[in-house]
Copies of this chain bind each other. A is one copy, B any other.
Amino acid sequence: MKKGRATRDRLLDFAEAAVLAKGFAATSIDELIAAAGITKSGFFYHFKDKADLAKALILRYLERDSELLDNLFRRGDELHDDPLHGFLVGLKLFAEMMANLPEAHPGCLAASFAYQDQIFNREIRELNARGLLAWRRRFRERFELIAERYPPRPEVDLEALADMATAIIEGGLIVGRALRDPTILPRQVLLYRDYVRTVFATPAIAAADLRFAA
């Protein structure tokens, strides 16, 4: 009962790495069971078919991801009780975390799935979309909170600014991957951070904010 969970998790680990490297269709069950040291029927005990594996993969990925972001921005807010600067610190923490990853960037499962969505059933596509919407919502709510204190430049749509966070992360991952340069993603995040600041930091308020420094 405990061991089953462990091998299931190992299967998911191998699968996630393989999917990010080769895509879902090119990841064979054979290679997963070989890596996990079990046989095929062992696999089909844990997952009823390959689609079930895909579903488990995103579910786990989205959950972990949301947890990670929660922690990150919570820590940011602990360092600054101002909503804007807490967010900016959170972004910085994220950039640092991405810069200090032990190995090359793993990539994002949601992006991988998005570029192969026709091989998945609707349920999985829905899950993926819901994950994206959660990210949008997370950032949008934060921006609305910030906007109460720091009026944003009026022509900037806060929802698009929220989507920009995930867009810049996904894009940074792709460019970093293709160029095999893990420094790209963190730098992109910092540029995004800089942009967010320019959106909310109007001159008068920005001056007043200097007391937050130090």
Taking a contact as CB atoms under 8 Å apart, the answer to whether A213 and B211 are in contact is yes
Q: Given A160-B191, A169-B171, are A214 and B111 neighbors across the interface (CB < 8 Å)? A: no
In Å, the complex CA distance between A163 and B190 comes to 13
A110 within 8 A of B: yes
- Tally of chain A residues near chain B (CB < 8 A): 71
Which of A7-15, A141-149, A202-210 lies at the interface with chain B? Answer: A202-210
Which residues of chain A from 1 to 34 have any CB-CB distance to chain B below 8 Å in the complex? 20-26
Q: Given A166-B171, A212-B210, are A129 and B23 neighbors across the interface (CB < 8 Å)? A: no
Q: For A212, list chain B residues within 8 Å (CB).
A: 209-210, 212-213
In Å, the complex CA distance between A131 and B99 comes to 24
Taking a contact as CB atoms under 8 Å apart, the answer to whether B20 and A115 are in contact is yes
User: Which among B107, B132, B163, B168 is the interface contact of A115 at CB below 8 angstroms?
Assistant: B107
A41 within 8 A of B: no
Count this chain's copies in the assembly: 2
Distance from A1 Cβ to chain B, minimum over Cβ atoms (Å):
35
Chain B's closest residue to A159 (CB) is B187
In Å, the complex CA distance between A174 and B167 comes to 7
In Å, the complex CA distance between A51 and B11 comes to 29
Q: Given A170-B171, A175-B132, A177-B115, are A156 and B194 neighbors across the interface (CB < 8 Å)? A: yes
Q: Give the B-binding residues of A (Cβ under 8 A).
A: 20-26, 79-80, 85, 88-89, 92, 107, 110-119, 128-129, 132-133, 155-157, 160-161, 163-164, 166-172, 174-175, 177-180, 184, 187-188, 190-191, 194-195, 197-198, 201-214
Q: Enumerate 26 A-B pairs (CB-CB under 8 Å) in ascending A order.
A: A22-B116, A23-B116, A25-B25, A26-B116, A26-B119, A92-B214, A114-B174, A114-B177, A114-B178, A115-B174, A115-B177, A129-B179, A132-B179, A163-B172, A164-B168, A164-B188, A167-B168, A168-B168, A170-B171, A171-B172, A191-B195, A198-B206, A206-B208, A207-B208, A209-B212, A212-B212
